[in-house]
Amino acid sequence: MSTWYCDGNSIDALPIDDRAIHYGDGLFETIAIRAGSPRLWHLHIDRLRYGCERLAIAMPPEENLHTGLQQAINESGIDSGYALAKIIITAGSGRRGYRRPDSGQGRVLTAVYSAQRLAPAGYRKGVATVRCATALAEQPALAGIKTLNRLEQVVARNEWHDPDVHEGLMCDTAGRLICGTMSNVFVVHDQSIITPILDRCGVAGVMRRHVIDTLHADGINANEDDIHWDDAMLVDEVFLTNSQYGVLPVRQCGEQRWAVGPVTRELMKRVAKSGIEECAL
Amino acid sequence: MSTWYCDGNSIDALPIDDRAIHYGDGLFETIAIRAGSPRLWHLHIDRLRYGCERLAIAMPPEENLHTGLQQAINESGIDSGYALAKIIITAGSGRRGYRRPDSGQGRVLTAVYSAQRLAPAGYRKGVATVRCATALAEQPALAGIKTLNRLEQVVARNEWHDPDVHEGLMCDTAGRLICGTMSNVFVVHDQSIITPILDRCGVAGVMRRHVIDTLHADGINANEDDIHWDDAMLVDEVFLTNSQYGVLPVRQCGEQRWAVGPVTRELMKRVAKSGIEECAL
């Protein structure tokens, strides 16, 4: 178990009246730590700020978040050369009932975990996926942000136990491909790079954002669009993004197979050059 | 703050690796305590068992739940003549990631809170409600059960601050009336008693169940059906159900007003006779 920190102290438990426990009232980020520093920090902060705004939770000062993270890195005893941090912002303690306290104060929890590099074969040959039977509900009020309400992902992730299956792909209840249980998804078709719109459900990942931004800086468009599951099965290439591993080609979903194609390879080179070293294979 | 109990001990915090904190991975019940005993205990147990089955969490033995509740009643120092208990079942501690541990053990948390009777005027004249802008997402995988993922209710409950408004009514994203933020809803039209179907979203409350069963035992049908919001505004009578207060007539929603009608009055008498004393007014 990792050491968690809150307000400068190491903690092993959360006050029982915290609204994260009772309602999942809060947000979180999982952040890649490379060479002792958080990667894509500004994108994580942007998403937290947006999430706090959406949930009407006071955004803690960025400096406090950074100080807490630095403490966890320094004191956890985990090799921070290649690690992972988790920051949770809860709506804080409250009385019973859905209504937030009038003068509630949020709580910031931070921990660093050791992390393992993915096997290089995944980047070179692609990973296997399955389609999850669990669909994502359309909830515009919570779409895009990374809240502590994650039962859909829990149920979906527990659908498969084959260790050779890296990820489960999820559709919304209307049958549109949305994301993986812990990643975003892109498809390539006729040279176009497309990733699902995430304004009805799904989490807008920071690596997804970084990939779109990196391509854009190079004059390449990655378009957000609706992608029906059946159409997704007919594309040329598929890849996943995640803050930890960067970009990972998908070689199959169930019986459907894809090559690790030239667009994905070229894109991985660009992303590696932008600082996501894992993609340089 | 109430005293919480877990495994026979009083606790003031939850282990930081509990999946309730990270994912809302668990269930809860709020139970009316009357004359020292839990009311409608068997219905709460039925819902917990069904919820555990749906989420693939091992249902703790009913005896353990009852022992924990009795401890909270005996030791909390709260007047258990008229009180409220909350039981939380979490998926227990786990490592990082959505996947449940192979040999995970759930955790049962129990507390008793003091409770206040609603003012008699609410039962006699009905309460005021508003329509929440926040809609409930259609998620059959989680519908009907009372999970710890309650952000929709949190966001909806924080839409209004007028203390004269008792409840917010919620629709699904298709505009069908589903429930209140903390209650179920029934409508009466042309002598028919109808309550929304809850297989796409909403929580199937134990008082809703008890009202349906009580009517059924008297040869009266309360039908589950889809109710579009616009149609709900045209009905003769509206009432709410909740494990704490029983049955509560609705006198208005925004500008729309309803009388506390004869069907609701008659039904409240029957429900009072069945042991839900609050309704005897």
Cβ-Cβ contacts under 8 Å between A and B: the total is 174
Q: Is the CB of B10 inside 8 Å of chain A's CB atoms?
A: no
Q: What is residue A194's predicted lDDT score, i.e. its pLDDT?
A: 98
Please tell me if the domain spanning B4-114 has the same topology as the one spanning B120-279: no
Residue of chain A minimizing CA distance to B57: A155
CB neighbour list of residue A33: distance below 8 Å, 6 or more residues apart: A39, A73, A80, A82, A83, A84, A85, A112, A115
| Burial grade of A63 (CB within 10 A; 0-12, 13-18, 19 or more) | exposed
Confidence at residue A204, expressed as pLDDT on a 0 to 100 scale: 98
How far is residue B114's CA from residue B99's CA, in Å, rounded to a whole number?
37
Selecting from B14, B25, B96 the residue whose C-beta is nearest the C-beta of A86 gives B96
**Two tokens, residue A50:** 């947006």
Residue type, A53: E
Closest partner CB to A21 (pick from B20, B84, B138): B20
Residues in chain A with CB shorter than 8 Å from the CB of B182 are: 97-98
What ipTM was reported for this prediction?
Answer: 0.97
Nearest Cα residue to B240 out of B251, B252, B250, B227: B250
**Per-residue pLDDT at A129 exceeds 90:** yes
- What confidence tier does B91 reach under pLDDT thresholds 50, 70, 90? very high
Interface test with B, best of A9, A116, A155 (most B CBs within 10 A): A155
Residues A85 and A38: beta-carbon distance below 8 Å: yes
Helix (H) or strand (E) holding A180: strand A177-180
List, for residues A22-69, the tens digit of each pLDDT value.
999 999 999 999 999 999 999 999 999 999 999 999 999 999 999 999
- Across the range B215-227, mean pLDDT stands at 96
Q: Which of these, A185, A163, A160, lies nearest to A172 by C-alpha position?
A: A185
Instruction: Write down the pLDDT at residue A215.
Output: 97
Torsion angle of alpha carbons B187, B190, B192, B198, nearest 10°?
-40
pLDDT tens, residue by residue, B35-61: 999 999 999 999 999 999 999 999 999
Specify the pLDDT at position A2. Answer: 86
- The model's pLDDT over A207-252, given as tens digits with 9 standing for 90+, comes to 999 999 999 999 999 999 999 999 999 999 999 999 999 999 999 9
B120-279: CATH topology is D-amino Acid Aminotransferase; Chain A, domain 2 (3.20.10)
Buried-exposed string B176-203: b where 16+ CB fall within 10 A, e elsewhere: bbbbbbbbbbbbbbeeebbbbbbebbbb
**How far does B64 lie from chain A, in Å, by closest CA?**
20
Give the pLDDT band (50/70/90) at residue B197. very high
Q: Sorting pLDDT into bands at 50, 70 and 90, what band is B2?
A: confident
B240–chain A Cβ distance below 8 A for any pair: no
Which of B25, B151, B157 lies nearest to residue A99, judging by beta carbons? B157
3-state helix/strand/coil string of chain B:
CCCEEECCEEECEEECCEHHHHHCCEEEEEEEEECCEECCHHHHHHHHHHHHHHHCCCCCCHHHHHHHHHHHHHHCCCCCCEEEEEEEEECCECCCCCCCCCCCCCEEEEEEEECCCCCHHHHHHCEEEEECCCCECCCCCCCECCECCCHHHHHHHCCCCCCCEEEEEEEECCCEEEEECCCEEEEEECCEEEEECCCCCCECCHHHHHHHHHHHHCCCCEEEECCEHHHHCCCCEEEEEECCCEEEEEEEECCEECCCCHHHHHHHHHHHHCCCHHHCC
CB-CB: which of B20, B91, B151 is closest to A142?
A: B151
Rounded to two decimals, what is the model's pTM? 0.97
Does pLDDT of B102 surpass 90?
A: no
pLDDT of amino acid B132: 98
CB contact under 8 A, A16 and B17: no
Q: Does A14 touch chain B (CB under 8 A)?
A: yes
CB contact under 8 A, B98 and A139: no
Alpha-carbon gap, residue A222 to A224, rounded angstroms: 7
Chain B partners within 8 Å of A96 (Cβ)? 2, 30, 84, 86, 113
pLDDT value at residue A123: 97
Nearest chain B residue to A139 by CA distance is: B137
Q: Minimal Cα–Cα distance from A262 to chain B, Å?
A: 32
Q: What is the pLDDT at residue B103?
A: 81
- The whole-number pLDDT of residue A104 equals 78
Structure tokens at B165: 């408004």
The strand pairing partners of A11, in sequence order, are A4
Give the nearest chain B residue to A84 (CA atoms): B96
Per-residue confidence band for B281, with pLDDT thresholds at 50, 70 and 90:
confident
State the Cα–Cα distance between residues A134 and A158, nearest whole angstrom: 10
pLDDT category at A103 given cuts 50, 70, 90 is confident
Mean pLDDT of chain B: 96
Q: Where are the domains of chain A?
A: 4-114, 120-279
DSSP, residue by residue, A76-109: S---TTEEEEEEEEE--B--SSSSPPTT---EEE
pLDDT over threshold 80, residue B1? no
Residues of B in contact with A99 (CB under 8 A): 157-158
Collect all residues of chain A within an 8 Å Cβ-Cβ radius of residue B201: 137
Reported CATH class of domain B4-114: alpha beta
Tokens encoding A69: 């993270």
Chain A, 50 to 69: residues with Cβ < 8 Å from chain B are 55-56
CB atoms closer than 10 angstroms to residue A105 = 11
CA distances to B152, B250, B273, B274 from B269, in Å: 33, 16, 6, 9
Best A5, A142, A149 residue to mutate vs chain B (most B CBs within 10 Å): A149
Asked if B14 has any chain A CB less than 8 Å from its own CB, the reply is yes
CB contact under 8 A, B137 and A134: no
Q: Per-residue pLDDT averaged across B113-130, rounded?
A: 96
On whether any CB of chain A is under 8 Å from the CB of B132, the answer is: no
